[in-house]
Every structure is written in C-alpha cells, then in structure tokens.
Amino acid sequence: MEIREMRKKNEMSNAYIINMQPYEKAVSKIDINVDKITPQVVNYAQILISTDSNFSKITQTIYITTIFKKGGIVSCVIPQPPKNCYYKFYLSLNSRATQNGSIQISKIAYYTSDSTPHISGSTSFLDSTSVTLSSENQDAKIYYTTDGTEPTDQSTAYTAPFSLKSSTNVKAVAYVNGERSKVISQNFKKVEENELISVAQALKTDNGTQVYIKAKVAKTNTYNSSCPTLNYYIADAENAAETLRILNGRYLQNTKISNAFQIVRGDEVVLAATVDTNNDAKVLKNVQLLSISECIDQAKISTARWATFVDFSNTSNLSAYTVKYDTTANQVTLSPVTAIPGNTAVVVKGNAGTYDLQQGDPGTTITDNDLKFGDTDTKVPTAFSIYVLAQHGDGCSFYPVKAGETLAPFKGNLTLPAASSAKPYYAISNTTTDISNGVVEAKNTDGVRYNLVGQRVNNNYQGLVIVNGHKVILK
C-alpha cells in the first residue's frame, strides 16, 4: 500500500483532492477514509484519472456518489488500471454545505496492481537483524524462504518481522487470488570481527568497494532537525588526522536521526558502506550503522587540579566553570555550572587523576562563556591573542600561545583582544573559583620585587614578579 499526502482546496460549493506526483505503476484500487459525512450536502462524488496534472487529458471518470454518502472506507476499483497518471477525488456540493466540517476525510490510499513483495532491513549486521516483508497490494499473501529455495504458497507464510542471526538469502513471493507475483530476493550478511578494517585501510581501497569499518567519530556536522540524516566523520582515533566523511548517515536499523546527540564525537561505531569520492576526497556512501558505543569522555586533571575540557556533564567528583573575560576591567571570571551539554568547553577542577564523563544533557544551554574550541587544528595568528590553561607551580593559569603555533582539536582556549591590550598571564587561585584582578599592572615601581622562585630582583628586571603581594608584569 502506498499513501501520499494530498492537497485540499475549496472552490465555492466544490472541493477536490489531487495527488501531487503521478503514480508510475498502475493503480488498481483507491480507498478513501471518510471520517464524517453529511449525505444531504453531496450532489455527486467521482474519481478523475488524467495523464497530466491540469486534468485536461482525462482518461477515466468513475462515479462513487452512492457509496461515498455511506461514509467509512470508500473503495473504488479502477476497471482499467493505467500507469503514470494523476488522480483527482472530486466533490460537487449543494447550497446546504455552508459549514466547514460537514465532510471530513483523513486519508486516501492508492493500491497498485503489482503485488511483488518488498524486503527491508539492515542487510549487514553484527549479531542479528530484523527483516520486514511488505506488498503494495493489501490483498497479497506473502510467503518466504531462508534456505535459498524458490518460495511458493507452500512456503512459510509471512505474518510479522523475523530475526536473522547468520548470513542468509531471503526470497519472497506474493499471491493475490491465486496469481503469483515475481520472486524477490535479498542477501543479509553477518559481518565477522576479522572482516572489520581501519579508516587508514579504507582510504586505500578503490571506489565502489564494500567495506566494514570500526572507528571513532571524529566530528559531526551541525544537526538539522528537518533532515532525517547526519553527515559526520570517522577516524581511527578521536583526534587522528586521517578521516572519512559519512554522507547522509542514519541510525541503527536504518532509522532516522532525530536529535543532535544520537551520534557525537568520541562514539565508537561499526559501519558497512561503499567507498566513493566526493570533491576529490574519499567518502562513504550507502552507510549502514551496525553498532554504536556511546563515548565515555575523560577529564585528565593535573596536580594543579585544573584542566580545560569539552563534552562535560555532571560528575560528583568534579566542579565545572564557564569562563568570561571583562575587557574593561581586564579580568577573567570563572562561574560554576552544574550541567554542561555536549560540545561545550569548560574549566574543570578536581583532585589530580583521570575522570570518566558521561555525555551531557542535550536540553542544557550555556551562556556567557568565552572558552571556545575547534574541531580541527587551529593556527595561532597573533602572539598574546589566544590563551590555554597550563600548570604554574601549585596553581593553573591561562598562558598565551606563540604566533604560528598550532592548537590541537578540542583544546579549550580563550581568545582575548589584540596584542596591544592583551596580558600574558591570568592566574587561577587554588582556593577561589573567581579570578578577581588576575592581572594587575605595576603601579609602585619603587616597591620590593621578587621573581616567582622568591629571589629579589632589581628595577631593571622584566617579566612576572611579586610586588606588595600581587603578581604583576613589568615590561
């Protein structure tokens, strides 16, 4: 059975519903679901069949007034089923049809005369797969085999989806009033562990090659809620340089992608796909997602007890902070947060060690956070413009990265104004979470000065020193 959405339009005392595209196959029956009917408002009802969308070349007109007035499911048999035609359900209404809702139609179903069954399901699988058989003809009885033999009406009758646990050739046939359809077949393959290859190996294969790959999700494109698929990239390691792009990827069992957190960076996936080339780069097409293991991210906290991180969520042993830079006061402030969505850079604090982090809550949003990251290598354009978190003694600070250096993907960093106003050091206190006056300009140059190892220095010394209990920069 094939069901399509129709367009309804009211014209004076008449109404009609037209299919938007022609049916390539011959339609043998049309069912109209009439949920509500006021018979006395109907002059007549008919089905018009035309070879063009303007209905200037009508080939058949079928009157259904009597059965339509009864309501319910109104079935109209097409005497001479045509191909490549448009269908218009047309109502002529009299003057008593003065209110909307006197006739309500919920669905129109078109049935083709071709009863050949369809076989659907994930054709590659690791452990098992579910197979569904169907026919466009609702009167068709489907029979199938899984041993390679030709199916007949003496074979297993299909009543519900069934499971396969080994490589199998499924064949199916349909019968309508004793008439036998064509036999359809589909191979289902169980993928063994020793057949899985790496991304590096897949990149060396020829176009058109069927491959089975085990890899990590390196990054994903922005999820579009109006699209049931997602483009993303896989690699042999999360931050590996070599990646393969997945075009129009779907979820397990070929189901739709319904939210941005079904497939995320760090997930481990097993895919069946065909190697191809797009814009001179290797890609994977016709992708079947065979398995996915949710990423368990890790936060590595140094002895300074601080680190930047991305993809953080609630963990009892860690605290998380967003980062905000105040250009007027030239201060960096950390603000505690309790829930972090995926793909969000934060500063975390905890005892030294490695922490497993579950994926964040997709419904959480973060505002006023200047800590950013990129999903590719980032070149630092200007000295004293990009800062990363680094250990300093028993504390941790934002240190500038030299011009021309490269930031690794997903490394949380802070971008500050131009070099003329940026400062080279922002200290994070061991005991407080807010950075208040993290940088203080030297105002009393006659005071006693010490370097960071406690040695007294003279007035010509340049760099980071302690003056009157404050860390300052002398230039």
Residue with tokens 């030299």: 402
Domain range list for the chain: 2-112, 118-190, 193-293, 297-428, 442-474
The pLDDT of residue 264 is: 87
For the chain, which ranges sit under pLDDT 70?
A: 1-12, 95-101, 113, 313-316, 360, 362, 393-394, 417-475
Homologous superfamily of domain range 193-293: Nucleic acid-binding proteins (2.40.50.140)
The pLDDT of residue 278 is: 86
Q: 118-190: which CATH architecture?
A: Sandwich (2.60)
The pLDDT of residue 101 is: 65
CATH topology of domain 2-112: Jelly Rolls (2.60.120)
The pLDDT of residue 473 is: 65
Residues 459 and 69: their CA atoms lie apart, in Å, by: 102
Looking at this protein, which amino acid is placed at residue 318?
L
- Give the alpha-carbon dihedral of 8, 10, 15, 18, to 10 degrees: -30
The pLDDT of residue 439 is: 34
The pLDDT of residue 260 is: 81
Read off φ and ψ for residue 169, nearest 5 degrees. -100, 115
The pLDDT of residue 96 is: 67
The pLDDT of residue 441 is: 33
The pLDDT of residue 453 is: 47
